[in-house]
Amino acid sequence: MDSKYEAVIGLEVHAQLLTDTKIFCGCSTRFDAPPNTNVCPVCLGHPGVLPVMNKKVVEFTALMGLATECAINERSIFARKNYFYPDLPKGYQISQYEEPICEHGKITIELKDGSMRDIGIIRIHMEEDAGKSIHDQGSETLIDVNRCGTPLMEIVSEPDMHTADEAYLYLTKLKQIVTYLGICDGNMEEGSLRCDANISIRLKGETKLGTKTEVKNMNSFRNVEKAIEFEIERQIDILEEGGRIVQQTLLWNADQNKIIPMRSKEEAHDYRYFPDPDLMPVIVDQKWKVEISKMMPELPEKRRDRFIEQYSLPKYDAEILTSSRDLADYYEKILTVTDDYKSASNWVMTEVLKNINDRKITVAQFPVSAENLGKLIKMINENIISGKIAKEIFPEMLSTNSDPNVIVKEKNLVQITDTSEIENVIDGILSANPKQIEEFLSGKDKVIGFFVGQIMKETKGKANPAIVNELLKSKLESKREK
């Protein structure tokens, strides 16, 4: 970015909450149901039906508020946001406007240089989702109202970010928090986390905000970064050419990597917000607040610090292991089987994560159970198998999730630690290779590797390497003395 300018970025994030039922009716929130089946008169907006608040939505949103150090307002109210659209059955969306449930919080991000920065949270509020309009099925527009009434939480940040990278870090952190809280699956591609950005630029040192634009439709973390970068550059180019920024809503087009303005007609909304007379104010009294705070799980930083402390892990390891709640849970589950903290960490950070990334799956979908991985590590530590054998049987565990004890037994892979058995093998190899013994005696130490290879071949890799090394060396040395 041109060093003369500074960008000012605020993000509005919508997170779909993982409640079983919708926000104002008893319908299921399952997203894979056939179109228009998770519906009832309430979410269809039939005449005379009334919304009834789902308490879980209040609890989840308040939990997010507590996790981001917001004030939880004892009284908050729902409002109607009025606009016409066919996938909005009531002709208004029930949301919160004046008096939201959470206000004045922050999310702390760690910048690339290791410094920490607080990004302010203006407010967090509850609302219902609209349905889906499907425009690409011939000349008709089809409507699926399954999503109508799915609970959403909107998190509005202060305009505290200055680069696309900071926005990316903020969003990543926000996703980490919601997934830790277990209130949203954080999947941007599937739309359970949606992000709009308000962007303006100004000369560095200027305190007044420039004219902002709103960028929508960024449906992945990378797209958020790319779109914001694009928009900052676009605004700078306009100012550099002596132009003026127009306040407008823009759509990110990920296929073409560019931003296109929304038709002005579509954004010319007067939502005519007013308090929804069908719903009573939401009262989160002290007692309920205490109950909600009891649901608070250990958050990422705390867990990371505990991992460093309790398991003596390097910060690097702890950071990666606690990057998601599922991964941290997986790691700690391994530790119910083995107490080799560092080996468990190594296995998770290499084999497990590599596999997850290669296959583009989630921790929950990873086929090897933490218990079985723990058993594998334990078998190495108890000298039942070598690390090498462990790496060899891991692919089978990936495809079957079998107990490694069973695999090792079936394939007869138990490590040979019996010295007399290993001695026999060594003696056989040595007597079959007199030429290599000569080489060793003439000072070519490298030939030891040859012998180890032969021994391992003979034992199918099962001989305990430490014992092999020790016995082989003493036998060769004894030949030197003669």
Partner 1 sequence: MLNYKNHSEKISLIKEDKLSLRENVSFFLDNIKRNSNLNAYNFVFDDCLMQTSSIEQKIKNGSAGKLAGMVIAIKDVLAIKQQPLTCSSNILRDFIPTYTATAVQKLIDADAIIIGKTNCDEFAMGSSNENSAFGAVLNPVDKSRVPGGSSGGSAAAVAASLCDASLGTDTGGSIRQPAAFCGIYGLKPTYGRVSRYGLTAFASSFDTIGPFARNVEDIALVLSVISGYDEKDSTSFRTDVPDFITKLNSIKKFRIGLPKEYFAEGLNEEIHNAIFEKVEYLKKQGFEITEIELPHTEYSISAYYILTTAEASSNLARFDGARYGFRSKEDKNLLNMYVNSRSEGFGNEIKRRIMLGTYVLSSGYYDAYYRKAQKVRRLLKQDFDKAFEKVDLILTPTTPTTAFKIGEKTSDPLEMYLGDIYTTSANLAGIPGINIPIGKDKQGLPIGMQVMANQFDEVTLLSVAQIFNLSE
27 binds, among partner 1, Zn ion, none (CB under 5 to 8 A by kind): Zn ion
Q: How far is the CB of 141 from partner 1 (least distance, A)?
A: 8
Which of Zn ion, partner 1, none is residue 89 near (CB under 5 to 8 Å by kind)? partner 1
316 binds, among Zn ion, partner 1, none (CB under 5 to 8 A by kind): none
Q: How far is the CB of 34 from Zn ion (least distance, A)?
A: 15
The answer to whether the Cα torsion of 64, 69, 70, 71 is positive or negative is positive
Nearer to partner 1, 1 or 44 (CB): 44
- Residue 85 C-beta: closest distance to partner 1, Å: 8
CB atoms within 10 A of CB 300: 20
Please give the radius of gyration of the chain, using alpha carbons only, rounded to the nearest integer.
Answer: 31
| Closest approach of Zn ion to the CB of residue 167, in Å | 35
Task: Give the separation between CA 406 and CA 232, rounded to whole angstroms.
Answer: 58
Q: Which is nearer to partner 1, 40 or 406 (CB)?
A: 40
| Structure tokens given for 112 | 């690339």
Rounded CA-CA distance 329/321 in Å is 9
Residue 320 binds what, of partner 1, Zn ion, none (CB under 5 to 8 Å, by partner type)?
none
Provide, rounded to whole angstroms, the least separation between the CB of residue 84 and partner 1: 6
Residue 51 interaction partner, one of Zn ion, partner 1, none, beta carbon < 5-8 Å per kind: partner 1
Task: Give the closest residue to 190 by CA, choosing from 366, 15, 10.
Answer: 15
Specify whether the CB–CB gap between 457 and 409 falls below 8 A. no
Least Å from the CB of residue 117 to Zn ion: 42
Binds 49, which of Zn ion, partner 1, none (CB < 5 to 8 A, cut-off by type)? partner 1
Cβ closer to partner 1: 111 or 280?
280
Q: Which parts of 295-418 fold into alpha helices (H)?
A: 300-311, 315-321, 325-334, 341-347, 353-359, 370-381, 387-400, 404-410
3-class SS of residue 144: strand
Strands of 137-290, DSSP E: 142-144, 151-157, 193-203, 213-216, 249-253, 258-261, 274-275, 282-283
Contact between 284 and 71 (Cβ < 8 Å) = no
Q: Which is nearer to Zn ion, 50 or 361 (CB)?
A: 50
The least CB distance from residue 395 to partner 1, in Å, is: 53
Least distance from Zn ion to the Cβ atom of residue 44, Å = 7
Q: How far apart are CA 143 and CA 198, in angstroms?
A: 29
Beta sheet of 249-253, edge-to-edge order: 71-72, 102-110, 116-128, 151-157, 5-16, 193-203, 213-216, 249-253, 258-261
Q: Give the H or E element holding residue 123.
A: strand 116-128
Task: Report the SS3 class of residue 93.
Answer: strand
Kindly tell me which of 83 and 316 has the beta carbon lying closer to partner 1.
Answer: 83
Residue nearer to Zn ion on the CB measure, 88 or 155: 88
Partner whose binding site includes residue 43, from partner 1, Zn ion, none (CB under 5 to 8 Å by kind): Zn ion
Judged by beta carbon distances under 5 to 8 A according to partner kind, the member of Zn ion, partner 1, none in contact with residue 13 is none
Among partner 1, Zn ion, none, what does residue 178 contact (CB within 5–8 Å per kind)? none
By C-beta, is 247 or 381 nearer to partner 1?
Answer: 247
Our CB check for partner 1 shows the closer of 93 and 345 to be 93
- Contact residues for partner 1 (CB under 8 A)? 41, 44-53, 80, 82, 84, 86, 89-92, 141, 143, 145, 270, 272-274, 277-280
| CA nearest to 174, candidates 164, 184, 165 | 184
Out of partner 1, Zn ion, none, what residue 279 binds, judged by CB under 5 to 8 A for its kind, is partner 1
CB under 8 Å, gap of 24 or more: what pairs does 40-46 form?
42/149, 43/89, 43/145, 43/148, 43/149, 44/89, 44/145, 44/148, 45/89, 45/90, 45/91
> Shortest gap between Cβ of 297 and partner 1 (angstroms)?
30
CB of 88 to partner 1, least distance (A): 9
Q: Give contact residues for Zn ion (rule: CB under 5 A).
A: 25, 27, 40, 42-43
Query: Which residue's CB is nearer to Zn ion, number 42 or number 393?
Result: 42
Sign of CA dihedral 310, 311, 317, 323: negative
Least separation in angstroms between CB 293 and Zn ion: 30
Query: 264, exposed or middle or buried, with CB in 10 Å at 0-12, 13-18, 19+?
Result: exposed
| 127 versus 214: smaller Cβ distance to Zn ion | 127
Residue 421: which H helix or E strand, with range? helix 419-432
Instruction: Choose among Zn ion, partner 1, none what residue 53 binds, the Cβ cut-off being 5 to 8 Å by kind.
Output: partner 1
Nearer to partner 1, 93 or 179 (CB): 93
Among residues 99, 105, 145, 108, the alpha carbon closest in space to that of 126 is found at 99
Report the DSSP beta bridge partners of residue 119.
107
C-beta of residue 459 within 8 angstroms of C-beta of residue 425: yes
